[in-house]
């Protein structure tokens, strides 16, 4: 059986992309607390059922003892006391039937309560699973939106880089043209001096 402590202590492997750890931890704490509560309720109802079964066994043994006692008395008294012994036996049998019926009813009631608690626990687990799925779906949607924004921003940066490369290439071409013009315009005497 998984305990709330098992759920609360479980650690997921963290990665660069993933769910927001505090949200996952908060949900795990809620699930762990609910699991502990349900386990405690199940244990309490199991104890009640065991008590009812014990009462039923005790009542059955008491009834069997009463019937046996009545039969022994009937045999001991003999033929003259048959009517009285039969009355005692019937009374003991009636009392035993009543005890058995009461114990059976208590056992049925405890079983009904236990069944209702189990159904409530199942509903709580379904609800916890639904909430977890919604939380995971919302986290996925938020991550998808962030990824889309990052993709758009990356495309804008790449476009700006392309424009910058084109501008740098044009600027370099312009510098080469200016240097060539300066070389052509330099007087002949400057060229002779530099030779």
Quick: pLDDT tens for 121-142.
788 777 777 887 777 788 788 8
Is residue 184 a part of any domain in this protein? no
Is residue 177 a part of any domain in this protein? no
Question: Structural domain tally of the chain?
Answer: 1
Is residue 180 a part of any domain in this protein? no
**DSSP sequence for 70-93:** HHHHHHHH-GGGHHHHHHHHHHHH
Is residue 169 a part of any domain in this protein? no
Q: Looking at residue 36, which CATH number applies to its domain?
A: 1.10.287
Structure-block tokens of residue 106: 């208590």
Distance CA 166, CA 159 (A): 11
Is residue 28 a part of any domain in this protein? yes
Is residue 194 a part of any domain in this protein? no
Nearest to 142 by CA among 18, 27, 30: 18
State which residues form the domain around 56: 4-163
The pTM (predicted TM-score) of the whole model is 0.33
Is residue 83 a part of any domain in this protein? yes
Find the angle CA(110)-CA(47)-CA(6) to the nearest 5 degrees: 115
pLDDT at 87: 84
pLDDT by 10-residue block (mean), the chain, 195 residues: 79 75 85 91 90 89 89 76 81 90 87 82 77 79 86 88 83 70 64 55
């Amino acid at each position: 059986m998984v305990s709330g402590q098992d759920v609360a202590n479980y650690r997921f492997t963290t990665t660069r992309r993933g769910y927001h750890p505090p949200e996952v931890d908060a949900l795990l704490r809620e699930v762990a607390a609910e699991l502990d509560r349900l386990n405690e309720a199940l244990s309490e109802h199991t104890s009640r059922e065991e008590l009812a079964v014990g009462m039923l066994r005790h009542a059955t043994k008491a009834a069997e003892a009463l019937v046996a006692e009545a039969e022994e008395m009937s045999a001991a008294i003999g033929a003259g006391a048959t009517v009285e012994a039969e009355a005692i036996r019937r009374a003991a049998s009636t009392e035993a039937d009543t005890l058995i019926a009461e114990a059976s009813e208590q056992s049925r009631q405890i079983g009904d309560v236990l069944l209702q608690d189990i159904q409530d626990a199942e509903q709580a687990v379904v609800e916890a699973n639904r909430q977890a799925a919604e939380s995971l779906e919302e986290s996925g949607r938020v991550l998808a939106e962030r990824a889309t924004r990052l993709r758009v921003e990356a495309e804008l940066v790449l476009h700006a880089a392309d424009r910058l490369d084109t501008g740098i290439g044009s600027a370099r071409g312009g510098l080469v043209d200016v240097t060539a013009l300066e070389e052509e315009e330099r007087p002949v005497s400057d060229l002779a001096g530099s030779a």
